[in-house]
Structure 1
Amino acid sequence: MKISRLSLQNFRGIKNADLSFEGHTLLVGANNVGKSTICEALELALGPDRQRRSPVVEEFDFYNAAYLDVNEEPIEIRIEVLMTDVTPTIEKACRSYLERWDPEKDRYLTQGEIDQVDAPGNVWCLHLLTIARYNKEEDEFEAATHYAHAYDPEDEKNSLVPRTIKRNFGFLYLGLRRI
């Protein structure tokens, strides 16, 4: 599997960003430009163990450490990941959540485009959405990864990506821990 796109909103030092990846990608840059932020966003979205950590996110994970707006309502971190070159294991396990992606036009096929499904170059993809926020009732931070195609803000539980599926993504982030 390959990460083809990454969108970040309100995560660490990134207010909004849309990144596209082709082939192998190497993140290079000076200190404090966002390399680790990108890797940690991917870990939060794809890593099978990150969301078991307590707390899964902290105040400093929100852009400018703001997790509540001026009305004291929670601000969301949103991380969207588009994965292509879906493995047979993921294709079988996530069949009802796969979408068709047109890499040439950089877009998902929509309802009514059935004639384009098998067009040359179009591929199956898995579109994931991770949302993190402060839960005022529980007084703690929470995060969950969802199948973006099935996500319903009124019923978030039905679109959750199980940890067993995440294990099959093969994502491993060996982050540097500063002491």
Structure 2
Amino acid sequence: MLELAILGSLAEGPLPGHELRRHVTSLTGYSRPVSDGTLYPALNRLTKSGLIERHPAPEAGGGRYVLSLTATGREDMLRRLREPADHEISDLARWFTLLAFLSLLPDTAEQHAVLRRRRAFLETPSSFFYEDEKPVRAEQTNDPYRRGMLLVARAITRAELDWLNEALGDKPAEEA
């Protein structure tokens, strides 16, 4: 998702490396900070692949540069948005990165296809815990911490499903 975060950020306009790092870090949050040791190798890979370009920063000397998205990079980013991997749909942090740039897809039908995949994932019965291969519900556990996990996850899932239904036009906004 780091590469999508980079490509999506640059789709909004060229950025110096330090500002790009700030954009990417704000997307991933405190739980997944982006180090220089992670960001700059990714930038080098994307540059070598022809997806981004480096240009000297006009106002700064001494090696400062600005990064921009190439036409090939824009197509690659759009492909990543159209065809996310299953783990990009199921993992919440990866999903949020995908969602942050989904509006860059020019076709609403393609956007909705991605939203429908997320909705299908959320509607599939699951749990953090299983007994006899069946998902354990909050009401079925005596462990207060596991119960808490399950209740919070259920509330988040319900809220997201409400929003997805609204975004897909399957539920009036006033009901959300």
What TM-score results when the alignment is normalised by the length of structure 1?
0.24
Structure richer in strand, relative to its length: 1
Structure richer in helix, relative to its length: 2
Structure with greater contact order relative to length (CA < 8 Å, sep ≥ 6)? 1
User: Larger Rg: 1 or 2?
Assistant: 2
